[in-house]
Amino acid sequence: MPKNSKVTQREHSSEHVTESVADLLAHQEPVDYKRSVLNVTGETWDKQKEGDEDLDAERPAWNSKLQYILAQIGYSVGLGNVWRFPYLCQKNGGGAYLVPYLVLLIIIGLPLFFLELAVGQRIRRGSIGVWNYICPRLGGIGYASCLVCFFVGLYYNVIIGWSIFYFFKSFQYPLPWSECPLVKNGSVAVVETECERSSATTYFWYRETLDISNSISESGGLNWKMTLCLLVAWSLVGLAMIKGIQSSGKVMYFSSLFPYLVLVCFLVRGLLLRGAVDGIMHMFTPKLDKMLDPQVWREAATQVFFALGLGFGGVIAFSSYNKQDNNCHFDATLVSFINFFTSVLATLVVFAVLGFKANIMNEKCVVENAEKILGYLNSNVLSHDLIPPHVNFSHLTAKDYNEMYRVIMTVKEGHFKELGLDACLLEDELNKSVQGTGLAFIAFTEAMTHFPASPFWSVMFFLMLINLGLGSMIGTMSGITTPIIDTFKVRKEVFTVGCCIFAFLVGLIFVQRSGNYFVTMFDDYSATLPLTVVVILENIAVAWIYGTKK
């Protein structure tokens, strides 16, 4: 043996022989005892699991932590933050509603959101693979999530289509919904009767945009304008999703950040409008007795549930592309509270604009009723003695009208109803609850017609809605594509394109003339109960089947 070999050196050294053995063993290949005949532990070698581990090494990953956070924010912050949360805030006690919402966000929303982030990140699969891994008998939870995502995606993209239609209609002055259309009656042009009875924005929404039928049973055929807009909407979603997170992640940089820029611009502009403070004060004036109503807490819990996108599978899909050592505690807290502050920001914007609109409508009411009073004075139905001496009809304020209204109501108590006068109270205008499409496509659009440079603000507003909807749709579609691609190993591009085409064809039911009725029906019934069941089963799977100690 060579004199300078390691063994010879050890023989002449005072070190223990065991160190030489350890040194020799350090150069040996590690033995996989699960495959070896030396395996006496009873553990079996699962070739499928080993293949899954190899697949994990090839799994796509987010380019950066910022891209991932923006994707989760884009998914959780959607149209509901703009038109559902402000309505619930107005309905359920103003500022007092923020207390139950924040409490339930911390107690219910944050833990459930963390649960989905954690299982997706740890197991690195979509919703089907995650629940199959924990318990094969509960694999149906993943399929249920995919089905709910499909139902929601069908009608959610129709709303994006409506926003696209309004977006392109905004590139003209004046805005097409700012005035009632004229129709020819012989040689005379008169205002459309139906529009005159409602309003220009309401008429444009129901007759020009939806061309709505009288009931859900009357399909009325396809609305070709909405069909084209739906095709554009699904094309945008398909292009954003076709390369998975490699394409959708880049889209999120714009679709997640642009709505915040628009909301801040609208807030600054809204605060400069006359009456904006009235709207914000109305929103934040707390009605503390509402906090004792169980219905308020139930609606707050439901909003928390849907605001974070729990049960859809989108959260699990996005987190499955993370490294397993990512700090998902921090992610869950950050995204949850950004979602909450976005809802508050959107509510400030909405009530600032609605406060301006309420002042405009109140002034219009005062003018119309003042003309009625002048008519009654000229026809001697009312005495001039009833009008306070300081009242000037050419510059009549809301305060002067209210004083005059109370005097006439007191004197003409027995015949007051016959006069047909309205109280014209600003509070009544602010109390008119508007939510959903009524807020975005009627109330907000009407307010924007009174803005200086109204087409610019209209373009910005509907571009914001398109981006909010697109961010949520990417998350919703990921809740379908990620688990299916993981489970059945289909080609990503082919499945994504096929899914979008199939969804577009099924979604044609929503762009009939009766389509709005189907959108309302799906919005009310397609997700609420199924998602509640899904989240309950998720908790059972993690807490009792997988085990909280693990």
**Can you say which residues are annotated as belonging to the binding site?**
74, 77, 81, 339, 468, 472
182 - beta bridge partners?
191
How far apart CA 492 and CA 314 sit, in angstroms, is: 16
Q: Where are the alpha helices (DSSP H) in 124-244?
A: 127-134, 140-169, 193-197, 200-203, 224-241
- At what angle are helices 328-378 and 276-284 packed, to 10 degrees? 120
Bond into 452 cis (ω within 30): no
CB neighbour burial string for 152-173, b if at least 16 within 10 angstroms, e if fewer: bbbbbbbbbbbbbbbbebbeee
How far apart CA 500 and CA 511 sit, in angstroms, is: 16
How far apart CA 473 and CA 165 sit, in angstroms, is: 18
Helix or strand holding residue 190 (H, E): strand 188-191
How far apart CA 166 and CA 462 sit, in angstroms, is: 7
- Pick the closest to residue 153 from 524, 405, 545, 500 (CA basis): 500
Contact present, 475 and 71 (Cβ < 8 Å): yes
List of residues 6+ apart from 199 with CB closer than 8 A: 442, 446
Assign 3-state DSSP to the chain and report helix, strand, coil percentages, each to 5: 70, 0, 25
48 - beta bridge partners?
none
Show binding-site residues for Na(+): 74, 77, 81, 339, 468, 472
- Pick the closest to residue 120 from 77, 66, 68 (CA basis): 68
- What is the full DSSP assignment across 442-510? IIHHHHHTTSTTHHHHHHHHHHHHHHHHHHHHHHHHHHHHHHHHHHH---HHHHHHHHHHHHHHHGGGG
Question: From the centroid of its chain, how far is CA 24?
Answer: 62
